[in-house]
């Protein structure tokens, strides 16, 4: 139940923010925030610029939970929140978004500079414009509408901006959740708008486990004309890639909550080996991205992978070293009847005129850490899901529409 008159007022106010939202997107995009694991210098500058913008908009309450990190110039990875007190002070509605972005990748695949956001056909383009700035901006302006209209929201509002999401390095929400201070309440509604679908009809309540592995195969380098004097690491690794497809058969459970409904095991990144054609490579490195249904234990997956690798080691007389680049065992889902799911369904129906359903996804979000700590959390966004791609972009209407969904949540009693 919400006061429709007040909600109409807030929505009209949000509609006036179109240009301001684009401006904030431009400021945020111009400040690359790549984590050190991805070769960047962290999120501090972006966090500082964002905070300055928030102060100019009228936000007054801030709390900081930075994490120490010597691998970035600032020595810290920023995590901070801003809040607006509502009529109901016992429950807070949280929207958590992440500051970091992934690197642009191959620059020649982009139509323009990834760090200079621009508008074309009602979309805003640039690295980070969708992931996660679309909803960062939406949540900020949803809250700002209450400040500008001088309306006290029904529920207290918490906007949390975290570091280190893209590489799950423990300096973001992980760090925050491990602090002794209880920042989130068990009755709070927590929304992580970092995944969804183009219709806005998917409320994500479960995630697959994530396992990223590196495979370093060592043979013996030699001249291309005398392969008998060496041991081709590339050949052995290629054989290994084909053998790893067996995982799909071993872990073949189907869970219709997810799309796709199966565990996936995909070879992805490949490191360059020798610089010339007439050298037999003595070393080969490739990576695999596994998204495993929560019914499986990742330890069992790793055991099977080790078995496969050992057979290849024997057959080719090579050494295969497997490194864990990312390991997130998913936990029990948020219940489909959790109050935050109902609240979102009501808001989505009001703004987008559709019935959203609860489901699972393969993408990892910070929600996994929250679920681990038993906070009911819903991941939702109306998003075209082109994060991490060249020419990343978001429809400006998504920013406005999602802002209204968040505002609706803030007004629900």
- Give the catalytic positions in this structure: 100, 165
| x/- map, 80-119, Zn ion, by CB under 5 A | ----------------------------------------
Q: Which of residues 345-384 bind Zn ion (CB under 5 A)?
A: none
Start-to-end CA span in the chain (Å) = 6
| Angle of CA points 377, 380, 386, to nearest 5° | 135
Are β-strands 279-280 and 202-207 bridged in parallel, bridged antiparallel, or unpaired?
A: unpaired
Contact between 135 and Zn ion by CB under 5 A: the answer reads no
Nearest CA-CA partner of 164 in 178, 183, 151: 178
| Angle of CA points 340, 341, 344, to nearest 5° | 85
d(Cα 169, Cα 270) in Å, to the nearest integer?
22
Q: Which of residues 268-307 bind Zn ion (CB under 5 A)?
A: none
Nearest distance, CB of residue 373 and Zn ion, angstroms = 20
Three-state secondary structure readout of the chain = CCCHHHHHHHHHHHHCCHHHHHHHHHHHHCCCCECHHHCCCCCHHHHHHHHHHHHHHCCCEEEECCEECCCCCCCEECCEEEEECCCEEEEEEEEEEECCECCCCCHHHCCCCCCCCEEECCEEECCCCCCCHHHHHHHHHHHHHHHHHCCCCCEEEEEEEECCCCCCCCCCHHHHHCCCCCCCCCCCEEEECCCCECCCCEEEEEECEEEEEEEEEECECEECCCHHHCECHHHHHHHHHHHHCHHHHHCCCCCCCECCCCCEEEEEEECCCCCCCCEECCEEEEEEEEEECCCCCHHHHHHHHHHHHHHHHHHHCCEEEEEEEEEECCCCCCCCCCHHHHHHHHHHHHHHCCCCEEEEECCCCCHHHHHHCCCCEEEECECCCCCCCCCCEEEHHHHHHHHHHHHHHHHCC
* C-beta of 33 vs 236, nearer to Zn ion: 33
Q: Which of residues 188-227 bind Zn ion (CB under 5 A)?
A: 194
Of 80-88, 126-134, 224-232, 343-351, the segment contacting Zn ion by CB under 5 A is 126-134
* C-beta of 99 vs 312, nearer to Zn ion: 99
Nearest distance, CB of residue 165 and Zn ion, angstroms = 6
* C-beta of 2 vs 206, nearer to Zn ion: 206
Nearest distance, CB of residue 258 and Zn ion, angstroms = 18
Q: State residue 409 phi and psi, 5-degree precision.
A: -60, -40
Q: Which of residues 155-194 bind Zn ion (CB under 5 A)?
A: 194
* C-beta of 129 vs 132, nearer to Zn ion: 132
Of 122-130, 131-139, 267-275, 392-400, the segment contacting Zn ion by CB under 5 A is 131-139
Contact between 131 and Zn ion by CB under 5 A: the answer reads yes
Nearest distance, CB of residue 101 and Zn ion, angstroms = 8
Contact between 139 and Zn ion by CB under 5 A: the answer reads no
* C-beta of 97 vs 412, nearer to Zn ion: 97
* C-beta of 235 vs 389, nearer to Zn ion: 389
* C-beta of 132 vs 273, nearer to Zn ion: 132
* C-beta of 136 vs 318, nearer to Zn ion: 136
Sheet holding 209-218, edge to edge: 264-270, 283-292, 209-218, 319-328
Of 54-62, 132-140, 179-187, 297-305, the segment contacting Zn ion by CB under 5 A is 132-140
Contacting Zn ion (CB under 5 A), which of 79, 132, 167, 402?
A: 132
Nearest distance, CB of residue 361 and Zn ion, angstroms = 12
For Zn ion (CB under 5 A), the number of binding residues is 3
Nearest distance, CB of residue 33 and Zn ion, angstroms = 12
Nearest distance, CB of residue 114 and Zn ion, angstroms = 16
Nearest distance, CB of residue 103 and Zn ion, angstroms = 14
Q: Quickly tell me which residue has 């050494």 as its tokens.
A: 319
Contact residues: Zn ion, CB under 5 A: 131-132, 194
């Amino acid at each position: 139940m919400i006061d429709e008159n007040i909600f109409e007022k807030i929505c009209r106010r949000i509609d006036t923010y179109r240009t301001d939202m684009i401006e904030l997107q431009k400021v945020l995009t111009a400040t690359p925030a790549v984590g050190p694991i991805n070769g960047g210098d962290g999120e501090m500058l972006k966090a500082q610029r964002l905070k300055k913008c928030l102060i100019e908009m009228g936000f007054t309450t801030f709390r900081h939970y930075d994490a120490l990190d010597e691998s970035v110039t600032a020595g810290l990875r920023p995590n901070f929140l801003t809040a607006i007190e509502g009529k109901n002070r016992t429950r807070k509605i949280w929207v958590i978004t992440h500051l970091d972005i992934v690197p642009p990748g191959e620059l020649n695949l982009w139509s323009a500079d990834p760090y200079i956001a621009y508008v074309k056909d009602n979309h805003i383009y640039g690295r980070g414009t969708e992931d996660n700035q679309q909803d960062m901006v939406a949540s900020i302006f949803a809250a700002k509408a209450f400040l500008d209209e001088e309306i006290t929201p029904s529920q207290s509002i918490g906007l949390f901006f975290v570091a280190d999401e893209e590489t799950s390095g423990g300096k973001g929400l992980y760090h925050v959740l491990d602090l002794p201070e209880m920042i989130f309440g068990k009755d709070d509604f927590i929304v992580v708008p970092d995944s969804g679908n183009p219709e806005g009809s998917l409320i994500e309540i479960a995630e697959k486990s994530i396992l990223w592995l590196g495979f370093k195969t060592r043979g013996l380098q030699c001249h291309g004309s005398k392969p008998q004097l060496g041991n081709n690491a590339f050949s052995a690794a290629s054989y290994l890639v084909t053998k790893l497809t067996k995982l799909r058969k071993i872990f073949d459970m189907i869970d219709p909550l997810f799309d796709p409904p199966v565990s996936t095991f995909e070879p992805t990144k490949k490191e360059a080996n020798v610089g010339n054609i007439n050298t037999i490579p003595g070393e080969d490195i490739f990576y695999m991205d596994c998204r495993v249904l929560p019914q499986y234990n990742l330890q069992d997956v790793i055991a099977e992978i080790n078995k496969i690798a050992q057979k290849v080691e024997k057959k080719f007389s090579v050494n295969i070293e497997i490194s864990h680049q990312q390991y997130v065992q998913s936990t029990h889902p948020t219940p489909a009847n959790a109050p935050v799911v109902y609240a979102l369904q009501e808001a989505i129906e009001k703004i987008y005129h559709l019935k959203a359903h609860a489901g699972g996804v393969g993408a990892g979000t910070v929600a996994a850490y929250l679920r681990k700590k038993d906070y009911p959390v819903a991941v939702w966004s109306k998003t075209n899901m082109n994060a991490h791609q060249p020419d990343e972009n978001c429809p400006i209407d998504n920013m406005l529409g999602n802002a209204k969904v968040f505002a609706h949540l803030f007004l629900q009693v």
